[in-house]
Amino acid sequence: MKITLTVNGSRRELEVDDRRLLADVLREELGLTGTKVGCSHGVCGSCTVHVDGRAVRSCIMLAVQADGRAVRTVEDLAAPDGTLHPLQQAFSEEHALQCGFCTPGFLMTALPAVEAGAPLDAGQARELVSGNICRCTGYDGIVGAVVRASAICAGAAASGAEAER
């Protein structure tokens, strides 16, 4: 079946089997291996991507369900010059990763709330990422990174609003 996706801002036309999962198409057809498949049941969150701005588990979404839609993967977070997104930078600074397998899913899960422009407290951050699983580390570093990044993005949003006045 022929589908058209806009992946990380680029329009892509693909021929896919109608039973093919979005995660597999992203990884195997498009070479976007940042999206991980941990459980294949939509439980662990490592396969999280955004479809039309909404976080979805790509290991349980068929590629044909994304036809005509915008897909954003973790590869799209850093700037073209390689500058890390504040959330990626916060993960590094808070030592929020070890093996890194689950990290893309945590980043994509937290991204909308972080970019919303309001700082999150630890409880809100913990709730936000509670559907993702990390087998290597405790969640304190991850929660700290989300809190830090939300404060940075909230500060940038406030600075932008002040500049517009």
Q: Give the contacts of 31 (CB within 8 A, at least 6 positions apart).
A: none
* 81 is a domain residue: no
How many CB atoms neighbour CB 133 within 10 A? 16
- Number of domains comprising the chain: 2
| Domain of residue 128, residue span | 86-164
CATH number assigned to the domain comprising residue 134: 1.10.150.120
Any idea which residue has 């890390």 for tokens?
Answer: 84
Per-residue pLDDT of the chain (165 residues; tens, 9 = 90+): 999 999 999 999 999 999 999 999 999 999 999 999 999 999 999 999 999 999 999 999 999 999 999 999 999 999 999 999 999 999 999 999 889 999 999 999 999 999 998 999 999 999 999 999 999 988 999 999 999 999 999 997 666 555 554
Among residues 34, 50, 76, the one where a domain terminates is 76
CATH number assigned to the domain comprising residue 65: 3.10.20.30
Order of all β-strands in the sheet with 54-57? 10-15, 2-7, 70-72, 48-51, 54-57
Specify whether 120 is located in the same domain as 71. no
Among residues 44, 76, 108, the one where a domain terminates is 76
Alpha helical stretches, state H, 15-57: 22-24
Among residues 28, 57, 76, the one where a domain terminates is 76
* 154 is a domain residue: yes
Q: Taking the C-alpha atoms of 132, 38, 79 and 11 in order, what is their torsion angle to the nearest 10 degrees?
A: -110
Specify whether 125 is located in the same domain as 103. yes
Global pTM? 0.92
